[in-house]
Amino acid sequence: MNPEERRAFGARVADLRKQRGFNQAELAAEIGRTASWLSQVERGIQPVNRLDVLRLLADGLGVSLQALSPDAPAQLSAHQLKAPEEPNDLDEARLVISGHPALDVLLGDCTTGVPANLPELRAAVDRLWELTHANRYAEMSTALGPLVPRLERAARTAPAEQRPELWLLLSRTYQALAAAFVRQDEADAAWVAADRAIHSAEQSGQPLHVCAGVFRLCQAFVRLKHLDQAEHAATTAVNAVRQHTEDTGHTPEALSVLGSLHLSLALVHARAGDRTRARDEIGRARDAARRLGDDRNDFNLEFGPTNVEIQAVSIAVELGDAGEALDTGRDIDAAGLSPERQARLLMDMGRAYAQRRQSGEAVDCLLHAERLAPELVHTHVAARNVIRELLLVAGKAASPELKALAERADAKP
């Protein structure tokens, strides 16, 4: 399909879904796909090339294959059934972590001592993180498919002197995947990816990377509402890093990890409604950021004074302190951070304005966030909830911009 055909097809899918009275999450569950994948189909981003996927979608919508796609043949040939579908979203990434990617190596079918192309692999992992920070999951999915098995094999078959770095590259890859899964509200998959990141970091001999993996694990636990597990994991890591810094000194890398873990604990306590402990953890994160001095991106955590204040806005919103969130947020200059971080600030500012019933300002913030990181706004539970709330409050007076945003995010009441 060309772009125009994809948009027309997506509009047809959306119309048929609405006729059935399904929202995107319900139809996605019906056909065994993610809501994000369906959202991208309906917006003409995700092509659907395989006829078996078309038939699955038609069955979920309760229509014939021809009603969904008039050009589709009634019968599927063997070639058509096996034709590759252009990957998008993170469906392919879920498949990559569904099983062991290097069983042939474990069974002794591959030669060891084969040198790996480290410069090429470093560049590939760096690129993966660029895509993650930019919320460009279509490209990320395409890159992940071959990269994960390649790294898993190389970490086990390369010469011994290369293996620590290969395990580290693998850990960074799984951390990127965990971060992406969390942002798309696929916390079960994020848990798996984070656990693999921790194991790979341990094999690399880099303990602070292990702690960064624990941070990703905490994010998954929070999304799964396993707050006790998140608190236990983060607290254990904080205590270990503190002991490490007492022995070795406060390196910038250690401060980045320590501060990020305190931010995780702040979110855990905010979700539990414990205002005092949440504020205490924000204070500890601010102290780490002050000692760090500048905004950094150690372990792709984007930790520093600016990110702490962005998280402080989010925590204030979680606690219902809209005025505090707005006062803090208005003073933040996030231009030097990734589009995802900038969009997250705008999204939380929008939530704060909505709590204050300042609907116009809330919509403006959400639209700006959408321009920076569409997938964040379209798939984040908090963003969709606030859009839905704004629609309910506005009723028939809802602006065309708000209605269009709710349509794109599938966030109608």
What distance in Å separates the CA atoms of residue 224 and residue 360, rounded to the nearest whole number? Answer: 32
Q: Does 407 have pLDDT greater than 90?
A: no
Task: Give 246-265 pLDDT, tens digit per residue.
Answer: 777 789 999 999 999 999 99
Global pTM value:
0.79
Tell me what the pLDDT averaged over the chain comes to. 88
CB distance 172 to 210 below 8 Å: no
Domain with CATH 1.10.260.40 in the chain: 1-86
- Helix (H) or strand (E) run with residue 213 in it: helix 207-223
Residue 366 has pLDDT above 50, yes or no: yes
CA pair distance 90, 404, nearest whole angstrom: 25
Predicted pLDDT of residue 137: 78
Residues of the chain with CATH 1.25.40: 304-413
Sequence-distant (6+) residues with CB within 8 A of 177 are 90, 93, 97, 144, 148, 189, 190, 193
Q: Can you identify the CATH homologous superfamily of domain 1-86? A: lambda repressor-like DNA-binding domains (1.10.260.40)
Residue 246's pLDDT is 79
**The two structure tokens encoding residue 348:** 């939380």
Residue 108 has pLDDT above 80, yes or no: no
Contact 285, 259 (CB under 8 A): yes
Percent of the chain at pLDDT > 90 equals 56
Q: 3-state secondary structure string, 105-141? A: HHCCCCCCCCCCCHHHHHHHHHHHHHHHHCCCHHHHH
| Region at 197 (left for phi over 0; alpha for psi -120 to 50; beta for the rest) | alpha
Is the pLDDT at 85 greater than 90? The verdict is no
In contact, 259 and 308? CB cutoff 8 Å: yes
CB-CB contact of 101 with 41 (8 Å): no
Is pLDDT larger for residue 272 or for residue 36?
272
Q: Which CATH architecture has domain 304-413?
A: Alpha Horseshoe (1.25)
Give me the pLDDT at residue 95, please.
81
Among 18-27, 108-117, 334-343, which stretch is predicted with the lowest mean pLDDT?
Answer: 108-117
